């Protein structure tokens, strides 16, 4: 199972490109579907994705395409579109039966569905897995040590897919908690925006640590209400990714929050973005999903208000002046 196979990748952003590099390093031929013609040309002609992952020399085993039919013989397909575009992309693969490994982080707007349920509806014949964890694309592409959760309901499939893409510096840990792996990755992006705001507004490192801890409590309440396991939320795809994303300007979500905290209106930071800050899309969806599940998520609500243009100081004051409560 870990011998050479053709691996498909859908999405030629930074993360899809870095994962293509991982699969190529594992000895596989890789077919990467990208939306932008210049990304396809750059990968095939210069072995570089100068648009989304500049400066990384890509393996010649990665072939980019804009033809969906080129994914027909893939042994497994890594799906790495922005979350809100996953259903549209998967409509082009509706008859596929090869396993889909979902690597995006978010919750679908409108339906409030986690992405594995979106994929199940869009590609009914394909087994579904989720790959999530603390993974800045540029570090993975540089071959720096990284560990992820790889979850599928079928434990044997999770183990098989983990073996298919594993590298000494890219260690997937198999799990059967699909919803748990997804919720950590979706929620931490919203909390990373909040941590960026704290940093940008100069509120100090005590405040950031408090936000990470209370944010994790928020993630756990929501996750448990949606059927996640506590140990998954405390693992790589939950707490691990939360800590990474809440502590570095390498995070697009943290940087977005930092800009808001420094006083730049969210709307202007989000206008004409080339790269995706998923937390900005997830926040209002998460607020709605939490309300539906009867879960209190005050940090998520505050991030939503900031994204809607509320003043930073007043939003922080409102968060800090809530009635005192017990920690548990």
Ligand X SMILES: NC(=O)C1=CN([C@@H]2O[C@H](COP(=O)(O)OP(=O)(O)OC[C@H]3O[C@@H](n4cnc5c(N)ncnc54)[C@H](O)[C@@H]3O)[C@@H](O)[C@H]2O)C=CC1
3 Cβ contact partners less than 8 Å away, ≥ 6 residues apart: 27
Residues 188, 233: Cα–Cα separation, whole Å: 10
Closest CB to ligand X among residues 209, 247: 247
From the list 28, 188, 208, 226, the catalytic residue is: 188
Which one of 10-18, 151-159, 171-179, 192-200 is the stretch in contact with ligand X (CB under 6 A)?
Answer: 10-18
From the list ligand 13P, ligand X, none, which binds 134 (C-beta under 5 to 8 Å, kind-based)? ligand 13P
Neighbours of 58 (CB within 10 A): 23
From the list ligand 13P, ligand X, none, which binds 6 (C-beta under 5 to 8 Å, kind-based)? none
Q: Which of residues 181-220 bind ligand 13P (CB under 6 A)?
A: 189, 192
Q: Is 272 left (phi over 0), alpha (psi -120 to 50) or beta?
A: left
- Confirm whether 188 is a catalytic residue: yes
From the list ligand 13P, ligand X, none, which binds 205 (C-beta under 5 to 8 Å, kind-based)? none
In this chain, which residue has its C-beta nearest to ligand X? 13
User: Which contiguous run of DSSP H or E holds residue 255?
Assistant: helix 252-261
- Looking at residue 77, what DSSP letter applies? E
Residues 245, 252: Cα–Cα separation, whole Å: 9
Q: Binding site annotation covers 276?
A: yes
Which one of 24-32, 113-121, 251-259, 299-307 is the stretch in contact with ligand 13P (CB under 6 A)?
Answer: 251-259
The values of phi and psi at residue 168, to 5°, are -55, -35
Q: Is 294 left (phi over 0), alpha (psi -120 to 50) or beta?
A: left
Establish if 136 lies at the interface with ligand X (CB under 6 A).
yes
The values of phi and psi at residue 175, to 5°, are -150, 160
Residues 42, 254: Cα–Cα separation, whole Å: 29
Establish if 52 lies at the interface with ligand 13P (CB under 6 A).
no
| Nearest distance, CB of residue 12 and ligand X, angstroms | 5
Closest CB to ligand X among residues 47, 85: 85
Residues 37, 39: Cα–Cα separation, whole Å: 5
Establish if 253 lies at the interface with ligand 13P (CB under 6 A).
yes
Q: Binding site annotation covers 25?
A: no
Using CB under 6 A as the criterion, which residues of the chain lie in contact with ligand 13P when the complex forms? Answer: 105, 134-136, 189, 192, 241, 244-245, 251-253, 278
Which residues belong to the annotated binding site for sn-glycerol 3-phosphate?
105, 133, 135, 188, 241, 251-253
């Amino acid at each position: 199972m870990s011998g050479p196979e053709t691996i498909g990748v859908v999405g030629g952003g930074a993360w899809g490109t870095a994962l293509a590099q991982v699969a190529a390093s594992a000895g596989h031929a890789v077919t990467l579907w990208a939306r932008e013609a210049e990304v396809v040309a750059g990968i095939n002609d210069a072995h570089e994705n100068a648009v989304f992952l500049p400066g990384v020399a890509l393996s010649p085993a990665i072939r980019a395409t804009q033809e969906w039919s080129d994914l027909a013989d893939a042994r497994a397909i890594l799906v790495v579109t922005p979350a809100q575009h996953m259903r549209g992309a998967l409509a082009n693969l509706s008859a596929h039966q090869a396993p889909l490994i979902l690597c995006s982080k978010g919750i679908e707007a409108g339906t409030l569905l986690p992405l594995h349920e979106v994929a199940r509806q869009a590609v009914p014949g394909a087994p579904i897995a989720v790959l999530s964890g603390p993974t800045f694309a540029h570090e993975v592409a540089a071959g720096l040590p990284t560990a992820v959760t790889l979850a599928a309901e079928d434990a044997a499939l999770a183990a098989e897919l983990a073996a298919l893409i594993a590298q000494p510096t890219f260690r997937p840990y198999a799990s059967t908690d699909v919803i748990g792996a997804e919720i950590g990755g979706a929620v931490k992006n919203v909390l990373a925006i909040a941590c960026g705001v704290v940093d940008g507004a100069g509120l100090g490192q005590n405040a950031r640590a408090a936000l990470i801890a209370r944010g994790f409590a928020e993630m756990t309440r929501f996750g448990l209400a949606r059927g996640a396991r506590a140990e998954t939320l405390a693992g790589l795809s939950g707490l691990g990714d939360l800590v990474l994303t809440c502590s570095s300007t390498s995070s697009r979500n943290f940087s977005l929050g930092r800009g808001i905290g420094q006083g730049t209106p969210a709307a202007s930071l989000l206008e004409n973005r080339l790269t995706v800050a998923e937390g900005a899309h997830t926040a209002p969806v998460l607020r709605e999903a939490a309300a539906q599940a009867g879960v209190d998520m005050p940090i998520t609500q505050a991030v939503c208000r900031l994204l809607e243009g509320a003043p930073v100081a007043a939003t922080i004051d409102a968060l800090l002046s809530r009635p005192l409560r017990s920690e548990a």
